Chains A and B, each alone.
Chain A
Amino acid sequence: MPIELGHFALILAFAIASIAAVGGFAFWRSGERIAQFVSQAAILQFVLIAIAFLALIQAFVVSDFSLALAAKNSNPVIPMLFKISGVWGNHEGSMLLWILILVGFGAMVAAFGKNLPRDLLTLVLAMQALLTASFSGFTIFTSNPFWRLSPAPLQGSDLNPVLQDVGLAIHPPLLYTGYVGFSICFSFAIAALISGRIDGAWARWVRPWAILSWLFLTLGIAMGSYWAYYELGWGGWWFWDPVENASFMPWLAGTALLHSALVMEKRNALKVWTVFLSIITFSLSLLGTFLVRSGILTSVHTFASDPTRGLFILALLALFIGGAFLLFALRVSTLRHGGLFAPVSREGALILNNLFLATATGAVLVGTLYPLLLDALAGVSISVGPPFFNLTFAVLMSPLLIVLPFGPLLAWKRADVVAAAQRLVAAAALAMFLAVLIAALSGATVSMAPIGLLLGFWVAFGAFAELVERGKVGRIPPMDSVRRLAGLPRTTWATAIAHFGVGVTVLGIVATSAWETELVTTLNPGETTSLASYSIAFDSFDPENGPGFTAEVGTFTITDTDGGTRQMQAARRTYQASGLPTTEAAIQTYGFSQLYLQLGEAVNGTHVVRLWHKPYITLIWIGTLFMAFAGALSLTDRRLRVGAPRRKARQVREAVQ
C-alpha cells in the first residue's frame, strides 16, 4: 500500500509540475496570483516527492521484496544504514533522489523568495517546475522505481558490496545537492533572459544559491575521492575517469560563476558572462548526471544497448541546454554593459580567474568527450587518461595559483599592483623559505616538487594577506587588531579561508605525488617489514564473520620511530548473497600522513602485501573542507541575512497608487 501511495504521489507531482510550468510561463506577467500559484505548486511538489521517496525508503527498510527495486538492491541481513542508502545505490532510486533535491530547492526558493520581484519569482519557479516535470516524466516512463513483483521473491539479491559503505550513504546526496542546486542559478538566468530584468540585485539573489550548491559539490567530490581512495584499494585518490570529470566540470564552472557573480553584484559588470556561466554550469551538471547514467561515456556501445533511456535523456538535454542557449543568443543583446574598470583591478583579477577556470573546464570537457567523438566519427578508439589531464591541468592551474593571492588585495575599478605585491612580500618570502627547506631536507623524487610546494605555500600564506592588511596586524596594538579582524565582514574571512584551502589541497597533492613510497612484498604472519621509518609486523591472519559477509582479516602492528605501536587490519571479504569479493585496505593516519596497506589473497600460505606511505595526503581533503566551510561562512554574512530589497516599500507604493 505505501508503495502505491508513493507511486501515486510521484505521478501527481509530475502532473502538478507540468501545470505549474505551463501556467507559469504563459501568465508570468499576471503578478501576485500566478506567483502564489507557482509557489504553492513548488511546495506541493516537494511534499509529494518526499512522500514518494519515503515510500521507497520504507520498502527498503522493511525489506519488502514485492518492490522490484528492493528485490534487486537490498537484503535483510545488511545493516540498516545500507538498506536506506541502497535506495539511491541504483539508477531508478538515484533519479528519485535527484528529483527530491530538485523540488527541495524549488520549495526553498518559494519559501525564501518572498522579497523577489513577482515576475522573476514566477519565471524561476516555472522553470524549476519544467525541470521537475521533465525528469519525473523520465523517471515514471523509463526508470520507474515503483514496479512490483508478483509473486514477491523471498530473498533480495543484495546491494553491491562496493556500495555497502558509509561513503555511499553520504556521497551521492552531497553530490546531487551540488549538481541540482545549480538548477536555481540556471532558472534565474532563464528568468532574467525572458523578463529582461538583470542587474546587480539579480546577482545578489543568485550568488547565495551558487555558493550553497558549490559547497555541497565540493564536499561531494571530496567525499567521493576519499571513498574511492580507501575503498577501491589501490591508493589512488583521483583518476580523471569520465565519471569523475563529469562531476569536476560543473565544479570548475561553478567556481568561475561564484567569482563572476561577485563582479556583477558589486559592480554591475560581466552580466552576459555571468548569465552564460549560470547556464553552462547547470548544463554541465545535467551532462554529468545523465551522460554518465546513459552509459555513453563508458562506451558508445552500452549506450546503444538501451536506446529508450538514452534517447529520452538526449532529448531532455537538447531541450534544456539547446533551449537555454537559443534564448541566450536571442536575448543577449538586451543586456547592457555595466561599470567600467581598468585592466588592473579587482574586476580584472576575477576575469583572469574566470579565463583560466573556463579554459580548464573546456579542456576537461574536450578530453572527456574526444575519444567518444573520435570513435563515433572516425571509428578510431584512443584513450585519454590521467597523463593527459595532469599535464593540461597543471599547465592551466599554475598561472592561476600564481596570481590568486593578488586578487583580494586589488581595489575595484583601478588598482595598484605594486602596492598589492608589497603586501605579499612576507607571504612570498615565507613560502620560498619553506619550499627550499623542505626540498633540501627530503630530496624530492619528482623534480617539479619544490615549485609545487612553493605554489602551495604561496597561495596558503597569501590568502591571509588581506586579513593582515585590513586588521592592521603588527601596526597597531594586538588587541585592536583582533577587534578589527572580528569586525571584518564574514565574506572577507570566507575568501581568505577558501583560498587557504586551495593552498592546502595543492600542498597535499604535491607532497603525496613527490614523496610517496611503495613496497610490494610477500609477508606471512610472524614476519616483519619496514617502510619510511615505520616497521610493520604481520601478527595474525584470521577468519571473521560480518553482517552479510565472511572475511579473512590480517592484523598488523606498526611501530614508529618513537617506539609507539598501533594496530591495523586489512581484510578480504566475500559477500554471501552475491558471492562478490571486496578488499578492505588498512589505513593508519600519522599526523597528516597515512600508511596504506592492502592484503593479497593467500597463495600456498604466502601473502602478498602492498604497502604505501603517503606523506601529507590528508591535506588534499582537509583543504576541501576549508573551502566548503568558507562557503558556509559566506552564507551567514550580514549582507545575506539582512536581505536588502524589502517588499514593504513596494506595497506602500501600490497602496498610494
Chain B
Amino acid sequence: MNWLRALLVMLLCLPAMSALALNPDEILDNPALEARARDISAEIRCLVCQNQSIDDSDADLARDLRLLVRERLVAGDSDDQVRQYLVDRYGEFVLLRPRMEARTILLWGAAPVLLLIGLIILFIAARRRTPATPQSLTGEEKAVLKALQSDKAKQ
C-alpha cells in the first residue's frame, strides 16, 4: 500500500515539491548545534504532510519549522525547551514520539502489558498441562503397603 501513501504525500505536499527537504542555507555553522537540530527535526511532524518529519519534508511549513528549531537552539534553548516551544504553538500533534503522560500510558504500556499477559497465559497453560508428578506415599500408606507385602510373603 506504499503507493497509496505516496499518492497522499504527493497530493498533500504538492505545492512545495519544487524545494528540497533540507537546504544548504538552513544548515548552522556550529556542527554540534546542527546535529541537535537534525535529531529534533527527525521527530517533529510536518503538519501539512502525511506522516512525514520536517527533516524529510519539502513543504514550506516544514522549512519554517526547521528554521524555527535552529533559531531556538541558537538562542540557547535545550532540546526539551525547543520541543515544548513547538508543542505550545502547534499542540502535541507535532511530536512524532508521543510523550509519556496520562493519556498515552496505554500506548506506551501496550507492548509490555501484552507481553506480560502472554507470559501469564503460557505459565498457567504450562502448569495445567504438565502431568502432576507422582507424590511420595504418606507414612500411613507406606505402613499399609508394608503390611500387604508381608501378608503376601507369608502366603
Any A CB within 8 A of the CB of B48: no
Interface window among A138-146, A165-173, A323-331: A165-173
Could you tell me if A359 and B114 are in contact, using CB atoms closer than 8 angstroms? yes
Could you tell me if A363 and B110 are in contact, using CB atoms closer than 8 angstroms? yes
On chain B, the residues within 8 Å of A343 by CB distance are 126
Could you tell me if A367 and B115 are in contact, using CB atoms closer than 8 angstroms? no
- Docked Cα-Cα span, A234 to B10, in Å, equals 13
Could you tell me if A232 and B9 are in contact, using CB atoms closer than 8 angstroms? yes
Instruction: Give the size range of B's interface with the partner.
Output: 35 or more
Which B residues between 7 and 26 are near A, CB-CB below 8 angstroms? 7-10, 14, 17-24
Could you tell me if A244 and B2 are in contact, using CB atoms closer than 8 angstroms? yes
Of A167, A385, A386, most buried by chain B (CB within 10 Å of CB) is: A385
Any B CB within 8 A of the CB of A136: no
Any B CB within 8 A of the CB of A374: yes
- Select from chain A the residue with minimum beta-carbon distance to B5: A243
One of A228, A363, A370, A580 near B6 (C-beta < 8 A): A228
Given A232-B9, A610-B21, A370 and B107 contact (CB-CB distance below 8 Å): yes
Could you tell me if B2 and A385 are in contact, using CB atoms closer than 8 angstroms? no
> Which residues of A are interface residues toward B (Cβ below 8 A)?
89, 160-163, 167-168, 171-172, 175, 224-225, 227-228, 231-232, 234, 236, 239, 241-244, 246-247, 288, 292, 298, 337, 340, 343, 351, 355-356, 358-360, 362-363, 366-367, 370, 374, 378, 380-388, 391-392, 395-396, 520-522, 580-583, 598, 600-601, 608, 610
A sample of 8 inter-chain contacts (CB < 8 A) reads: A162-B7, A337-B129, A380-B92, A382-B92, A383-B98, A387-B97, A520-B20, A610-B22
One of A298, A383, A581, A610 near B17 (C-beta < 8 A): A581
Could you tell me if B122 and A351 are in contact, using CB atoms closer than 8 angstroms? yes
Could you tell me if A355 and B1 are in contact, using CB atoms closer than 8 angstroms? no
Could you tell me if B103 and A162 are in contact, using CB atoms closer than 8 angstroms? no
Could you tell me if B24 and A521 are in contact, using CB atoms closer than 8 angstroms? yes
Interface window among B50-58, B132-140, B144-152: B50-58
On chain A, the residues within 8 Å of B4 by CB distance are 243, 292
On chain B, the residues within 8 Å of A246 by CB distance are 1
Any A CB within 8 A of the CB of B118: yes
- Docked Cα-Cα span, A242 to B5, in Å, equals 9
Question: How many Å from the CB of A531 to the closest CB on chain B?
Answer: 14
Question: How many Å from the CB of A268 to the closest CB on chain B?
Answer: 13
On chain A, the residues within 8 Å of B91 by CB distance are 381
Question: How many Å from the CB of B50 to the closest CB on chain A?
Answer: 7
Question: How many Å from the CB of B151 to the closest CB on chain A?
Answer: 38
Could you tell me if B92 and A520 are in contact, using CB atoms closer than 8 angstroms? no
On chain A, the residues within 8 Å of B56 by CB distance are 234, 236
On chain A, the residues within 8 Å of B43 by CB distance are 385, 387
- Select from chain B the residue with minimum beta-carbon distance to A161: B10
Besides the known contacts A383-B92, A383-B95, 8 further A-B residue pairs in the complex with CB atoms under 8 A apart: A227-B2, A227-B3, A234-B56, A359-B114, A362-B110, A367-B107, A381-B93, A383-B94
Question: How many Å from the CB of B133 to the closest CB on chain A?
Answer: 13
Given A362-B111, A363-B111, A380-B92, A601 and B3 contact (CB-CB distance below 8 Å): no
On chain B, the residues within 8 Å of A384 by CB distance are 96, 98, 107
Question: How many Å from the CB of A580 to the closest CB on chain B?
Answer: 7
Given A363-B110, A610-B20, A242 and B115 contact (CB-CB distance below 8 Å): no
- Select from chain A the residue with minimum beta-carbon distance to B129: A340
One of B17, B22, B103, B110 near A374 (C-beta < 8 A): B103
- Docked Cα-Cα span, A610 to B23, in Å, equals 9
- Docked Cα-Cα span, A608 to B63, in Å, equals 15
Going nearest first, the 5 A-B pairs with the smallest beta carbon separation are: A385-B96, A387-B97, A224-B2, A600-B20, A363-B111
Could you tell me if A340 and B1 are in contact, using CB atoms closer than 8 angstroms? no
Question: How many Å from the CB of A417 to the closest CB on chain B?
Answer: 16
Could you tell me if A89 and B3 are in contact, using CB atoms closer than 8 angstroms? yes
- Docked Cα-Cα span, A343 to B118, in Å, equals 15
- Select from chain A the residue with minimum beta-carbon distance to B11: A160
Question: How many Å from the CB of B125 to the closest CB on chain A?
Answer: 9
Given A228-B6, A242-B51, A396-B115, A601 and B98 contact (CB-CB distance below 8 Å): no
Any A CB within 8 A of the CB of B27: yes
Could you tell me if A381 and B92 are in contact, using CB atoms closer than 8 angstroms? yes
Any A CB within 8 A of the CB of B119: yes
On chain B, the residues within 8 Å of A382 by CB distance are 92-93, 95, 98, 103-104
Could you tell me if A171 and B2 are in contact, using CB atoms closer than 8 angstroms? yes
Given A385-B43, A385-B53, A598-B20, A366 and B106 contact (CB-CB distance below 8 Å): yes
Any A CB within 8 A of the CB of B131: yes
- Docked Cα-Cα span, A351 to B129, in Å, equals 14
1/0 per residue, CB under 8 A from A, across B37-51: the answer is 000001101000011
Of B4, B43, B118, most buried by chain A (CB within 10 Å of CB) is: B4
- Select from chain A the residue with minimum beta-carbon distance to B56: A234
On chain B, the residues within 8 Å of A386 by CB distance are 53, 96
Could you tell me if A168 and B3 are in contact, using CB atoms closer than 8 angstroms? yes
- Docked Cα-Cα span, A89 to B4, in Å, equals 9
Which B residues between 105 and 121 are near A, CB-CB below 8 angstroms? 106-107, 110-111, 114-115, 118-119
On chain B, the residues within 8 Å of A239 by CB distance are 5, 51-52
Question: How many Å from the CB of A29 to the closest CB on chain B?
Answer: 34
- Docked Cα-Cα span, A640 to B45, in Å, equals 49
On chain B, the residues within 8 Å of A580 by CB distance are 10, 14
Question: How many Å from the CB of B106 to the closest CB on chain A?
Answer: 7
On chain B, the residues within 8 Å of A600 by CB distance are 19-20, 23
On chain B, the residues within 8 Å of A163 by CB distance are 3, 6-7
Given A171-B3, A382-B92, A386-B96, A358 and B9 contact (CB-CB distance below 8 Å): no
Question: How many Å from the CB of A517 to the closest CB on chain B?
Answer: 13
Could you tell me if B96 and A228 are in contact, using CB atoms closer than 8 angstroms? no
Question: How many Å from the CB of B130 to the closest CB on chain A?
Answer: 8
- Docked Cα-Cα span, A600 to B104, in Å, equals 39
